[in-house]
Amino acid sequence: MARGIKDKVAILGMGCSKFGERWDSGPEELMVEAYLEAMEDAGIEPTQLDAAWFSTHIDEIGTGKGGTPLSVALRLPNIAVTRVENFCASGSEALRGAVYAVASGAADIALALGVEKLKDTGYGGLPVANPGTLNPQLTPNGSAPGNFAQLASAYRAKHGVDKDDLKRAIAHVSVKSHANGAKNPKAHLRNEVSEEQVMNAPMIAEPLGLFDCCGVSDGAAAAIVTTPEIAKAMGKSDIVTVKALQLSVSNGLESQHNSWDGSYFHTARIAAKKAYAEAGIENPREEVSMMEVHDCFSITELVTMEDLFISPEGGAVKDVMDGFYDSDGDVPCQIDGGLKCFGHPIGASGLRMAYEMYLQLQGRAGERQLPNPKIGLTHNLGGAPSQNVCSVAIIGAHDA
Amino acid sequence: MAQNTIGLKAFGGYIPRLRLQRKSITSANAWIAPNLVGKGKGERSMGNWDEDSLTMAVEAARDLLGTDEDRSHIDAVYFGSTTLPFSDRLNSGIISAALTLEESIQAVDVSSTQRAGTTALLQALNGVSGGVNKEALVCAADHRKARAASAQELEFGDGAAALSVGSDDLIATFLGSHTLTVDFVDHFRGSGEEFDYGWEERWIRDEGFSKIVPKAVAGALEKTGLSASDIDHFVMPCTFARLPQKLAKMCGINQDAVADPLGAVCGETGAAHALVMLVYTLQNAKPGEKVMLAHFGGGCDVLIFETTDLLATMSSKRGIVGSLADRQEETNYMKFLTFHGLVEWERGMRGEQDKKTALTTLYRNEDTVMGLVGGRCTETGVVQFPRSRISVAPNKPTVDTQEPYKFADRKATILSWSADFLSFSMNPPNHYGMIVFEGGGRIMMDIGDVTQGEVDSGMEVRMVFRIKDFDDQRGFKRYFWKAVPVRNAVPAAQAAE
């Protein structure tokens, strides 16, 4: 195994815009909002940036292709800007690029910034994808909820879970995230909901109702990274470092080979194992303090608890119902509201997850601050259960 | 008289599952068409939104061909229809691609008359008789539109039939035919027009059917040396009540030989209807019976067959009898109007997506898209869809080892699914899921012909060839395969009773 990234890179500063239906802002304004906060947090000048990684998924809606949208919006000093795109995990890709640049020594200080402006489509939900010339001739005219909902049918079939029991468990996933999101001033959705409300909401894609689906939001998030040594030299204390950054990408096995049963994420399990190995974590259920996972849909979060080896196989329903992942549970999950309530501006989401872990680790999470967390995990997924990319990152206190 | 013994080798049939209750039409239109209220009886077949003459023809042909992968014995395909999806793109060529027939096949579209089905059959018989072809496949299908509150809306149905023509292993021997070509315009549909324009029914009945059909029948009897009383089954589409019986009487054919025009349970399937009725008749006929097939339209075709002992070999075919038994009542007239494009409905912004098809991509992947042909690794035996240079085999991604592997006729079940209300659908909710095939391979695909609450993991499905998308901007249709539930249809013999 490679030597890995553990503790080679520190987070110098982070920023995150208010997420939501930002009718007042285009992608430029959102980028600037996240950038200025991150720069102030880092305490550096633009000229200190050596390179930038820029993530945005849907270039058709406003933001555009290439590195120029970021460079122009932030008036960067003509440094290298690389646009990355990896579906809904694009934000984690930007972070990966910046972290690797610092770890390699090619850059002393690097910027990762992700943005998505989704509310210029004219309709609710994610924009209709346009995936090339062959796929539209073969694949259903589906939607994200329709693809992720299929986890539920396969999970029920595999574990013999009653339809109503699973519906209630995924409802609890959303209830918990709404309760958390209500405490987050930057969150898109800040209302608490009851299990009954979730279960009786209009159906979007069976069995997912309206409250089983995450917010479709505008927003941006940014990270500035450097080496722990430079951070210390700049007088930073409570240094947060990257412990692991792993990405696993489907090779078509799930969608083309009958060895996959449709109830879990093949890539998530691979990325999680590698991330734990990289970070030196042996018992994730005990060692991980908190998580921000890719809860694009409630069922995604539920099966992910098993894919990350926090819940035992087939045990996620019980853990969820026991409150294991609630804010006062053993491993609080989506403490900032998650994609569900903080929102899901696609290119920003991976960085938003890291932002919450960073704030929590530095004790700056306000009303939702957890007691003394040491290790945070982010799980950022892109694509559909049958074909996807999955990023698992672990960040923690430098001395953890 | 035919020079050498030729005739029919097999048949297949397909009637769409949806059966629109005529009462739902007449009650909705009673305010504007009170004269039609009395016709609100029985049901008419109604293609689902993703069915047209071509998809129905493919299903009828698949019923005929069975699951045998070797289809090299078919060397010609004829497609008779007045509702060909393309005016200039060989429709029978699309059928050929969907059926994975050989490239060296002769494919012919026959259209412009209600006799297109019988004329296609005659052309196939001529081809085999003349030695040009050894075995020809004949498909006929129609999917006609009619204006709301018209009589045609009640009379028409959607459906298809298929016959194969050859010179050995015959289920029915061809005895001879006679054709009259008369420019008698009982109705017409101008080029590019959607609807028929018809003349007075009494004139059509008295000057058309009653004069042209007996003359054509007499010609056929004379050519074959048969007498009218020899005919055991008189198969002739006609929507006028009691007219077939009157014509039989005029021709000297026994009254009990007159075949049921299937008006009550199906409606008239246009150019396909003579063949649809023929298949239905053959499913109820005995060996050694003489079947006269007539179709009126711009004249009249009359063909005479005699069934053989091999007719019994067709008992496993769904045919028309089995298709009629596999039915779902539809009472939503608005759905029918919407499927036929007669209602401007709000599709939502998700329905605005451009459905332009890259024809280069389509051709490059022709057997994948049209024939549902995937790949099988010659080293590991792993099968997959679609084919790829490097195989999907776990831990052994062999290179350039894939041979074509057909999925269309394999058993399959649903692994995972959803009923999606968000994505655009012509018939929401949009059902789709991961379909796994016995023997390996899987495809994420649309699930068709289902109602909400019906689908579950583990459900057995079969493949059907359907319209995938409409490109209304350019007048193109995409076709692909979908999964539909395997339903325990009533056995053909039982349903016929």
Please write the tens of the pLDDT for every residue from B282-339: 999 999 999 999 999 999 999 999 999 999 999 999 999 999 999 999 999 999 999 9
Q: Is B469's CB within 8 Å of A253's CB?
A: no
Q: Which two tokens stand for residue B163?
A: 């016959």
Residues of chain B contacting residue A204, judged by C-beta atoms under 8 Å apart:
420-422
φ, ψ (nearest 5 deg) of residue B31: -65, -30
Question: What is the predicted pLDDT for the residue at A295?
Answer: 98
Give the rounded percent of residues in chain B with a pLDDT score beyond 90: 96
Gap between the terminal Cα atoms of chain B = 35
Residue B495 pLDDT = 42
Number of independent structural domains in chain A: 2
Domain-embedded: residue A321: yes
pLDDT over threshold 60, residue B497? no
Tell me, yes or no, whether A222 and A209 share the same domain.
no
Q: Write out the CATH class of domain B7-339.
A: alpha beta
Distance CA B360, CA A334 (A): 46
pLDDT at B494: 44
How close A124 gets to chain B, by Cα (Å)? 9
A163-181 helix and A144-159 helix, angle to the nearest 10 degrees: 130
Residue A289 pLDDT: 98
**CATH class for the region spanning B349-372+407-488:** mainly beta
Is the pLDDT confidence value at B128 over 60? yes
DSSP assignment of A39-99? HHHHT--GGG--EEEEE-S-TTTTT-SSSHHHHHHHT--S-EEEEE-BTBTHHHHHHHHHH
Are the C-beta atoms of residues B157 and B266 closer than 8 Å to each other? yes
Q: What is the DSSP letter of B205?
A: I
A49 and A156 share one domain = no
Confidence grade of residue B490 (pLDDT, cut at 50, 70, 90): very low
- What pLDDT is stored for residue A131 in this prediction? 75
Q: By percentage, how much of chain A surpasses pLDDT 90? A: 94
CA gap A376, A394 in Å, rounded: 6
Residue B42 is predicted with a pLDDT of 98
Q: Is the pLDDT of residue B9 over 50?
A: yes
Statement: residue B401 has pLDDT above 70: yes
Coil, strand or helix at A28: helix
What CATH number does residue A35 fall under?
3.40.47.10
Q: Is A105 on the interface with B (CB under 8 A)?
A: no
What pLDDT, on a 0 to 100 scale, did the predictor assign at position B491? Answer: 45
A244/A385 same-domain check: yes
**What is the per-residue pLDDT across A12-41, written as a single tens digit (0 to 9) for each?**
999 999 999 999 999 999 999 999 999 999
Flag whether pLDDT at B96 surpasses 60. Answer: yes
pLDDT above 60 (res B2)? no
The answer as to whether A136 is a domain residue is no
Which of A233, A261, A279 is where one domain is finished? A233
Contact A113, A97 (CB under 8 A): no
B positions 86-125 inside 8 Å of A (CB): none
Is residue A60 pLDDT above 80, yes or no? no
A76 and A151 belong to one structural domain:
no
- The pLDDT tens digits for A265-319 are 999 999 999 999 999 999 999 999 999 999 999 999 999 999 999 999 999 999 9
Q: Which domain holds residue A281?
A: 143-213+240-397
pLDDT of res. A150:
98
B411 has a chain A CB within 8 A of its CB:
no
Q: Mark whether A76 and A109 lie in a shared domain.
A: yes
Residue A135 binned pLDDT confidence (cut-offs 50, 70, 90): very high
Residue A35 falls inside a structural domain: yes
Nearest-neighbour CA in chain A from B362: distance (Å): 7
B394 at interface of A, judged by CB pairs closer than 8 A? yes
Report if residue A73 sits inside a domain. Answer: yes
Q: In this structure, are A42 and A81 located in the same domain?
A: yes
Percent of chain B having pLDDT more than 70? Answer: 98
Average pLDDT over residues A44-70: 93
Boundary of a domain, candidates A233, A268, A297: A233
Given A181, A201, A233, which residue is the final one in a domain? A233
For residues A222 and A267, state if they share a domain.
no
Q: Is the pLDDT of residue B4 over 90?
A: no
* CB proximity A233 to B under 8 Å: no
Is position A105 within any domain?
yes
Q: What is the mean pLDDT of residues B119-145?
A: 98
How large is the average pLDDT for residues B458-466? 98
* Whether residue A262 is found in the same domain as residue A175: yes
* Domain co-membership, A332 together with A193: yes
Residues of A labelled catalytic: 88, 344
Same domain? For A68 and A152 the reply is no
pLDDT of the residue at B492:
46
- Do A36 and A184 lie in a common domain? no
Q: Is the pLDDT of residue B206 over 70?
A: yes
Per-residue burial over A357-378, b = 16 or more CB atoms within 10 Å of its CB, e = otherwise: bbbbbbeebeebebeebebbbb
**B7-339 and B349-372+407-488 have identical folds:** no
- pLDDT, average across residues A70-81: 98
Assess if residue A318 is contained within a domain. Answer: yes
Q: Is residue A204 part of a domain?
A: yes
The whole-model pTM stands at 0.95
pLDDT of residue A1: 65
Q: Do A187 and A275 share a domain, yes or no?
A: yes
Q: Inform me whether the pLDDT recorded for B493 exceeds 60.
A: no
Does some domain include residue A94? yes
| Mean pLDDT computed over B127-145 | 97
In angstroms, the separation between the Cα of residue B189 and the nearest Cα of chain A is 32
Determine the distance in angstroms separating the CA of A171 from the nearest CA of chain B, rounded to an integer: 18
Residue B106 confidence (pLDDT) above 50: yes
Cα(A346)–Cα(A366) distance, rounded to whole angstroms? 25
User: B168 and chain A: CB distance < 8 Å anywhere?
Assistant: no
Average pLDDT in the A170-193 region? 98
CB A386 to CB B430 under 8 A? no
Beta-carbon separation of B432 and A130 below 8 A: no
- Whether B409 and chain A come into contact, CB under 8 Å, resolves to no
Q: Report yes or no: A15 and A39 within 8 Å, Cβ to Cβ.
A: yes
Rounded Cα distance between B12 and B279, Å, is 7
Residues of B in contact with A133 (CB under 8 A): 357-358, 360-361
